Amino acid sequence: MTMITTAAVPRREAARGHGTQPGEFGYQAHSAPAAFEADPDDRDLEDIDAADDTAVGLFTDGTLERAHHLVELANRRLHRHGIDGEFTLMSEPKLVRDDRGFMVQMHEVRLERPDFAANGWRFDGSHEATESGAFISRFNASGDRRAPEGITCGHCGSNRHRTKMFTVTNEATGEQQQLGSSCLDLFLGHSPAGFNALYADPLEKIDVDEEWAQSSSASLHAAGDVMLAAIRASDSGADYVSRTDAKWMGVPATADTVRDALERGTGADDAATDEERQLVDDVYAWASTIPEDAGNEYLRNLRSVFQTSDDGRRYVNAKHVGLAASAIASFRRDREWAAQRAAKDATRARIRQEFVGNPKDKLTPRTMEVLGVTEVPGSFGYRPKPNWYIRMIDDDGHLLTWKASNPPVELMDATPGSTFQMERATVSDHEIYRDDHITRITRAKFAVDDPA
């Protein structure tokens, strides 16, 4: 059964009424039908948390005003360090539905980082080293999105422990270099402070208590403690609340709940149950399968944050707790999409490409499995009523669709995989949609009081 969390309600509601085609089949309850074309692989995991450099989130009027002020201060810092570029904050009004079902006016905000070059070298990105030696990367808008190869500085040739590396590209020759902080001034003529100002998050004060962040930024947490706290705070990822959703829902973000638990010392790894330990191990294994050159920056950073250190253990820097905590939701969503793909493939294998009966024929009773239910707003009359497109498959593999203005509530709320006994129906007509033979029915009656 598909569970829809409060955080998912706005996305579900936004999908309604985007134009539908009767006869399309797919595993989407109460959303625009997508036949078998909506591959979960195409979904973007970056909406789990603020992992995208440009996507910030949904702000209220007051928060947006403060954000503009913080960006102005950040641009002044850039100018003091001789950097001409500026951060740009862009916003668009957006209506979202809160947990009470009311529409709320918010602002969808994006932050663009300035491009920067010095002495013919373009700044590509800044990279913070984790305890394991992997890197958490922040890339410039037009920079080459590559992580450093090791910790050797390309200018001085030294190979020592570093907490931060920078990558640059020669705009004329395409030559690429990686530099340690101490060599930035010598190589480019700009101090590390200038690059730190370029790399910094101007809106950090909106999301994180700066004083606490500074006092704890050097501390490490056992990755198992972080994951256990995240599992318990989000019901194993089912109730994960991203920072974006937390703003309009008025509840703490899961990352903040995890930080509080770590501060109090709760959620220690040695208190984990066998089931929780197995889930943590599954998340580690899943993260290790993410390709090093994955096109999604969030996924690359997720892989890095869980890599083991020299002593064979996994540690998470306090600054990266939010990233690590989001892994449980990403893992859960990936498993759900895998299950959806498997179910979709199994259904596709069952489809029998032929029609049922002829137009005006009466159909005999049969068991129907629901593939998807789509509510389509009405468009005529003073108070137009919606229609529901209910897409089904029978035991013989025939595809049927029923357009109903007042179906039983049980069918309105049916999830993919639910089965009902159809007592009678009349064939309306036939259609072929994307090679699928679909029988459209009317005047259907279901035994909703006794689902099959």
CB-based contact 173:150 (threshold 8 Å): no
In the predicted structure, residue 54 carries a pLDDT above the cut 60? no
Distances (CA, A) of 446 to 364, 367, 449, 450: 12, 10, 9, 9
Residue with tokens 């030696």: 133
Output the pLDDT for position 415. 87
Output the pLDDT for position 143. 67
Output the pLDDT for position 352. 92
- pLDDT band at residue 201, thresholds of 50, 70 and 90? confident
Output the pLDDT for position 165. 86
Per-residue pLDDT averaged across 374-401, rounded?
86
**pLDDT tens-digit series, residues 324-346:** 999 999 999 999 999 989 988 98
Per-residue pLDDT averaged across 215-224, rounded?
64
In the predicted structure, residue 390 carries a pLDDT above the cut 90? yes
Please state, rounded to an integer, the average pLDDT across all residues of the chain.
Answer: 77
- pLDDT band at residue 188, thresholds of 50, 70 and 90? confident
Could you give the percent of the chain with pLDDT greater than 90? 29
- Which of 200, 256, 194, 199 is closest to 229 using CA atoms? 256
Pick the most confident of 185-194, 256-265, 401-410: 401-410
In the predicted structure, residue 412 carries a pLDDT above the cut 60? yes
Per-residue pLDDT averaged across 91-114, rounded?
71
Pick the most confident of 203-212, 248-257, 381-390, 424-433: 424-433
Output the pLDDT for position 52. 39
Interatomic CA distance for residues 186 and 279, integer angstroms: 48
Pick the most confident of 32-36, 94-98, 246-250, 357-361: 357-361
Distances (CA, A) of 169 to 87, 166, 179, 445: 21, 10, 11, 68
- Please provide the size of the chain in residues: 452
Output the pLDDT for position 442. 94
> Under 8 Å CB-to-CB from 439, ≥6 apart: which residues?
355, 356, 357, 398, 399, 400, 401, 427, 430
Output the pLDDT for position 285. 95
Pick the most confident of 62-71, 285-294, 379-388, 438-447: 438-447
**pLDDT tens-digit series, residues 239-296:** 999 988 888 888 999 999 998 888 777 555 557 888 999 999 999 999 999 988 877 8
More confident residue, 26 or 166: 166
* Tokens encoding 384: 């137009």
Per-residue pLDDT averaged across 375-387, rounded?
78
Rounded-to-5 percentages of helix, strand, coil across the chain = 35, 25, 40
Output the pLDDT for position 117. 72
Mind listing the domains of the chain with CATH numbers?
Answer: 6-38+351-446 (2.40.50.110)
Q: Looking at residue 104, what DSSP letter applies?
A: E
More confident residue, 129 or 117: 129
* Tokens encoding 125: 């990105």
Output the pLDDT for position 179. 87
In the predicted structure, residue 425 carries a pLDDT above the cut 90? yes
Output the pLDDT for position 10. 41
Overall pTM > 0.85: no
The 3-class SS string of 313-346 reads CCEEEHHHHHHHHCHHHHHHHHHHHHHHHHHHHH
More confident residue, 103 or 209: 103
Lowest-confidence segment of 120-134, 173-187, 204-218 by average pLDDT = 204-218
Task: Quote the Cα angle for 413-415-420, to 5°.
Answer: 85
Residue with tokens 């497109």: 389
Q: Long-range contacts made by residues 207-214, C-beta under 8 angstroms, separation at least 24?
A: 207/50, 207/243, 213/318, 213/319
Per-residue pLDDT averaged across 382-409, rounded?
90
Interatomic CA distance for residues 430 and 211, integer angstroms: 66
Output the pLDDT for position 270. 57
